[in-house]
Amino acid sequence: MTTTQNNRVLGKPVADKIMAEAGERAAQIIKQTGIAPCLATVLVGEDPSSHTYIRMKHNRCKQAGIESRHFHLDDSTTTEQLVAKITELGADELVHGILLQHPVPDQVDERAAFEVIPVSKDVDGVTYGSFARMWFDESGGFPSCTPAGIIGLLDACEVSLKGKRAVVIGRSPILGKPMAGLLLARHATVTICHSRTEDLPSVVREADLVVAAVGIPNFVKGDWLKPGCVVMDAGYNPGNVGDVDFESCAPVASLITPVPGGVGPMTLAVLMNQTTLAAAAQLNLSGI
Ligand code: NAP
């Protein structure tokens, strides 16, 4: 598998391999139990990007041989109604993974809805229970998909993390914070930066690994980087632009993910993989 081209880290070959593994596991589960792994997605409202993301998720399920069910609730849905729907899916033995599409309308308490997803079915890694397991380095939960995908890319490129300085820019619950936890579990020395960090460029300059999860196009500049560092760009801004200024950073970094085609393809592959792992665990199939 070629995972790099010059110093560009290519997400697609790594994501394809994970998808193939998820597909094989799904086939094994069906063969052994007659039950297909199943992902249930819930979308509240009419956000056009959310509809696109849901479609992409269902297409990937199909590709991996995973059954998918979709529940679309209207804009006026209350927290109680959403909680009731997710609770019902949590109790359904034929549903192995549950994903609530973000964002939900303002009147809905998203956290209350997330927290009724059983940890065993939280394949998107959004619940407190999943986060705590990840942070405490314990099994039984799933990490958030994009950070897990970044770890997958680093592993595919055989980047050694032990003892290395990692700087994560961004502290969101789905990206920056879980990323920091996963890097810590790999024995990196981790610094988390955010909008109040003073003199960000000098902090970034200390890093052997920089993960950008900021949401500002072309934010990280080449002259902030230590020569030879590894740069992972989680950013996905309108117009397919990352959070890293690729032009100035690529000549300085030893490895760098482009946008598109770097971190992006990993997220859905990890989601599919985690759905099949959740199904295998719920169906008491070990070792597949
Ligand atoms: P978010 O919730 O908006 O968080 C952004 C983080 O960046 C916050 O912690 C914020 O700090 C920090 N930040 C903002 N301005 C900054 C500045 N000037 N200096 C330093 N830090 C700053 O965004 P997110 O959901 O984590 O997403 C981050 C990026 O990843 C976006 O481009 C998003 O599109 C992308 N993304 C990609 C995928 C994928 O599948 N590839 C999935 C999810 C997200 P404060 O906490 O202080 O506000």
Q: What is the CATH number of the domain that holds 206?
A: 3.40.50.720
**Which pLDDT score is estimated for 2?**
79
User: Which of 101, 177, 245, 282 does the annotation list as catalytic?
Assistant: 101
In a domain, 166, yes or no: yes
List for the chain the helix, strand, coil content (%; round to 5): 40, 15, 40
- Residue 244 carries which DSSP code? B
Same domain, 257 and 225: yes
In a domain, 76, yes or no: yes
Asked if the bond preceding 260 is cis, omega within 30° of 0, the reply is yes
Is 223 part of the annotated catalytic residue set? no
pLDDT band at residue 288 using 50, 70 and 90 as cut-offs: confident
In a domain, 52, yes or no: yes
Q: What is the pLDDT of residues 153-187, one digit of tens each?
A: 999 999 999 999 999 999 999 999 999 999 999 99
Q: Identify the CA nearest to 125 among candidates 271, 235, 23, 234.
A: 271
CB atoms within 10 A of CB 177: 20
Q: How far is the CA of 271 from the centre of ligand 1 (A)?
A: 20
Q: What is the pLDDT of residues 11-70, one digit of tens each?
A: 999 999 999 999 999 999 999 999 999 999 999 999 999 999 999 999 999 999 999 999
pTM score above 0.85:
yes
Task: Give the CA-trace dihedral at 43, 260, 272, 73, to 10 degrees.
Answer: 0
Domain count for the chain = 2
pLDDT at 286 > cutoff 90? no
User: Which of 85, 122, 124, 282 does the annotation list as catalytic?
Assistant: 124
**38-44 and 209-212 strand pairing:** unpaired
Is 28 part of the annotated catalytic residue set? no
pLDDT at 1 > cutoff 90? no
Distance CA 87, CA 25 (A): 27
**Which pLDDT score is estimated for 287?**
85
CB contact at 8 A, 169 and 206: no
Q: Which CATH number goes with the domain that contains 78?
A: 3.40.50.10860
In a domain, 174, yes or no: yes
Same domain, 178 and 99: no
Q: How far is the CA of 170 from the centre of ligand 1 (A)?
A: 5
CB contact at 8 A, 107 and 82: no
- Residue 224 carries which DSSP code? G
User: Which of 57, 85, 164, 177 does the annotation list as catalytic?
Assistant: 57
Is 164 part of the annotated catalytic residue set? no
**Which pLDDT score is estimated for 126?**
98
Q: Spell out the residues 6+ positions from residue 155 whose beta carbon is closer than 8 angstroms to its own.
A: none
CB contact at 8 A, 166 and 191: yes
The arithmetic mean of pLDDT across residues 104-117, rounded, is: 98
Handedness of CA 155, 21, 275, 12 (dihedral sign): positive
Structure tokens at 13: 């070959």
Residue corresponding to tokens 């990993």: 266
CA 224 to each of CA 51, 68, 84, 227: distance values in angstroms, whole numbers, following the listed order: 37, 44, 48, 9
* 151: containing domain: 145-265
E strands, the chain, where? 4-5, 8-9, 38-44, 67-73, 97-100, 165-169, 189-193, 209-212, 230-233, 255-256
Same domain, 86 and 186: no
Q: How far is the CA of 105 from the centre of ligand 1 (A)?
A: 20
Same domain, 115 and 218: no
